[in-house]
Structures are given as structure tokens and as C-alpha cells.
């Protein structure tokens, strides 16, 4: 039986391999969060999503999951700007 819930990953536990270039890592992280925002926007509002916090998944509504992912995109952009300025 198919589950009617989606999963939102936590950026504090990156699943991408870390390279020696932090700029590339930030671009990959930012792209991943942008994809997550796009995918969440395509889900119906009644759909449940789960967000991983540590080793535990918490059930969230789509609006809060989108807000969280958008905040992560903004933080990654700010870190990228700081890296480019340095």
C-alpha cells in the first residue's frame, strides 16, 4: 500500500559528498533546497510531509516545510556571498 506522505531532508546531515571546494558544496546544497521547495509546491495542501531533525522524523504541514526549505536557500545564498566577498 502506498504511503500518502513525503519526506523533507535536514540540511545539517548532508547526503552529498564533501569536496575540497566549499563554493561548489554551497551551490549543491542551495540547489538541493531549491529542488525541495519546487517539489513541495507541487504537493496538494492536504499531504503530510516529514522533516528529519537529528534521528527523528517529525510530521509537518507543507507550508512550514516550504518555509524551512526557503530559509535554508536564503542561508546558503548568504554564505555563498560571504565566501565570494572573502
Domain of 67, CATH number, reads: 1.10.287.370
The confidence band for 3, taking pLDDT boundaries of 50, 70 and 90, is: very low
Digit-coded pLDDT (tens) for 5-24: 555 555 554 555 666 888 99
With b for 16 or more beta-carbon neighbours within 10 A and e for fewer, the 66-82 pattern comes to bebbeebbeebeebbee
Q: Is residue 40, in this structure, part of any structural domain at all?
A: yes
> How many structural domains is the chain composed of?
1
Digit-coded pLDDT (tens) for 20-50: 888 999 999 999 999 999 999 999 988 989 9
The helix (run of H) or strand (run of E) holding residue 30 is helix 22-41
Q: Is residue 8, in this structure, part of any structural domain at all?
A: no
CA distances from 76 to 34, 44, 57 (A): 11, 27, 23
pLDDT at 8: 57
Beta strands per DSSP E along 1-85: 5-8, 48-53, 56-60
pLDDT greater than 70 at residue 56: yes
Q: Is residue 7, in this structure, part of any structural domain at all?
A: no
Q: What is the mean pLDDT of residues 66-80?
A: 94
Residues 11 and 30: their CA atoms lie apart, in Å, by 10
Q: Is residue 14, in this structure, part of any structural domain at all?
A: no
Amino acid at each position: 500500500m502506498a504511503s500518502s506522505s513525503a519526506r523533507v531532508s535536514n540540511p545539517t546531515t548532508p547526503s552529498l559528498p564533501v569536496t575540497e571546494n566549499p563554493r561548489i558544496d554551497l551551490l549543491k546544497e542551495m540547489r538541493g533546497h531549491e529542488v525541495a521547495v519546487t517539489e513541495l509546491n507541487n504537493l496538494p495542501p492536504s499531504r503530510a510531509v516529514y522533516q528529519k531533525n537529528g534521528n527523528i522524523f517529525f510530521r509537518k504541514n507543507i507550508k512550514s516545510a516550504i518555509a524551512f526549505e526557503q530559509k535554508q536557500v536564503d542561508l546558503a545564498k548568504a554564505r555563498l556571498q560571504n565566501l565570494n566577498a572573502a
